[in-house]
Chains A and B, each alone.
Chain A
Amino acid sequence: MLDNVCDEKIFSTIYNDYAKDLHDYLYYKYGDQFDPNDKVQEAFIKLWDKCKDVTFEKAKGFLFMVAKNMMLNEIKHKKIVLKHQKIKPKDYTNEDPEFLLEKEQFLEKYQRALTKLTEEQRTIFLLNKVEGKKHQEIADMLGISKRVVEYRIYTAFSVIKSEIKEFK
């Protein structure tokens, strides 16, 4: 029934369904150096311009492809460093400073390890373990098979582990 996405209601549904996923994907893959939020907005504006040619089912694939291409045009394969949240002592009933320091150091090692991953390993690992996306969902998002997703998660995990161990 929905042979295009030119209706505003449909369009806003698509936005609400996919904007966050698209944003998280771009963030984990490229960090925040190119403002993933801007890229999301641009991708949706492109979709709106082309709305007559895109069916409801194709919209998701279209968005991910457009956003990825925009990023590729800009990016110069720099090292991506993802920020981590600073530990607030308030989060713990136990405010042992030594414990906090250890945790902070662990996160710094973790951060360094994440930069060693390939874009795809990092994106897939964090989408699964932080955003709780299922293997199949990630596979659909990236247009790859579920087995590849599982394999990437494992390799990402192994790299993180050996990097953290090395700096111990």
Chain B
Amino acid sequence: MDQEQLEKKWLADELTNEELEDFKKLGDYNLNLDIIENAKYFKASHFSSVKGFEHLKANLKEKTAPVIKLQSFKILYRIAALFVLGLTTYFFLFYNNLTTVKTLASQKTSFELPDASSVMLNAFSKAEFNKKKWAEKREVTLQGEAFFKVAKGSKFDVITTNGIISVLGTQFNVKNRSNYFEVKCFEGIVSINSNGTSHRLTQGNTYRVINNVVVVDTTIKNQPEWLDNLSSFKSVPLYEVIAELERQYDVVISVKKEDTNRLFTGGFVHNNLEHALASVTVPFNMTYKKDSSNKITIYKIE
């Protein structure tokens, strides 16, 4: 295929993988990319953008105020009827009283469930539960990390992407981040269903899955450290520690020339970024520098 045809197909986004390889071999490949890539700098909205409807409406009213037609009322009624119909259908079919509680980076919050069980949500996490059906099934869907104090009663399920944690009445912490799943039981017994296997966790024990490797450990604390504004880790890969730092302080951290799979045992505070960074970097013989207010680079001391 000749250059012209390849370019035409490329512009239309129709190249097959094979043709794409041929296209990449063309001398102009980088220039071709640059042209498409840099077009965005000419985007209209950088220089001029359209005003909202309210602005137009102000101009319309002056011109049309005296001409109110009966006919337009009829259409208005039709639309109102449709609207009511749509809303009713929506309520009956889809609206199921789902309550969502969410935190952003460097935020924590706590809330009560309908049966006086309480949940404390760590930074950058999300919990969802159904208020209406709570009496039938106690179920919370969780992304991120939370500490649960469950009131005694029927089965209580926490659903995460990594598995389901079921209890009757206890206190436990769930941490469900990408490639990292950890349940700590502080009171009572917790049952974990994850990847088809079931595991019972008794008081004072920790169940941790990092990159599909399961570790069972103990804990001496009676509540998670993050409730005291502290994150602690035991043999956890550095990248996960850094991810937690990013969530707690709402910063972006990049690591230079260091294997982030190395394990870290220790902790950091949530109220002093300098101390927290030192706690994590010093053990690895590393240091850090602030690139801007929320960008940090960690690197090895030469």
Number of A-B contacts (CB under 8 A): 120
Name B12's contact: one of A8, A84, A130, A150 (CB within 8 Å): A150
Tell me which residues from 245 to 297 in chain B have a Cβ below 8 Å from any Cβ of chain A.
254, 291-292, 295
Name B72's contact: one of A6, A40, A157, A165 (CB within 8 Å): A6
Establish whether residues A41 and B51, one from each chain, have CB atoms under 8 Å apart when the complex forms. yes
Which residue of chain A has its CB nearest to the CB of B75?
A: A7
Establish whether residues B59 and A157, one from each chain, have CB atoms under 8 Å apart when the complex forms. no
Given A37-B48, A150-B12, A154-B7, does the pair A85, B41 have CB atoms closer than 8 Å?
yes
* B28 lies within 8 A of chain A by Cβ: yes
Stretch at the interface among A43-51, A58-66, A68-76, A137-145: A43-51
Establish whether residues A164 and B35, one from each chain, have CB atoms under 8 Å apart when the complex forms. yes
> Contact residue range for chain B?
35 or more
Name A48's contact: one of B32, B43, B64, B69 (CB within 8 Å): B64
Q: Which B residues lie within 8 Å of A114 (CB)?
A: 42
Establish whether residues B63 and A126, one from each chain, have CB atoms under 8 Å apart when the complex forms. no
* A129 lies within 8 A of chain B by Cβ: yes
Establish whether residues A150 and B41, one from each chain, have CB atoms under 8 Å apart when the complex forms. no
Chain B, residues 38-81, CB within 8 Å of chain A (1/0): the string is 11111111111111010111011001100001011001101100
Establish whether residues B55 and A41, one from each chain, have CB atoms under 8 Å apart when the complex forms. yes
Establish whether residues B50 and A19, one from each chain, have CB atoms under 8 Å apart when the complex forms. yes
Establish whether residues B28 and A161, one from each chain, have CB atoms under 8 Å apart when the complex forms. yes
**Interface, chain A (partner B; CB < 8 A):** 1-2, 6-10, 12, 15-16, 19-20, 22-24, 27-28, 32, 35-37, 40-41, 44-45, 48-49, 82-85, 87, 90, 93, 103, 106-107, 110-111, 114, 125-126, 129-131, 135, 150, 153-154, 157-158, 160-161, 164-165
**Interface, chain B (partner A; CB < 8 A):** 7-8, 11-12, 28, 31-32, 34-36, 38-51, 53, 55-57, 59-60, 63-64, 69, 71-72, 75-76, 78-79, 254, 291-292, 295
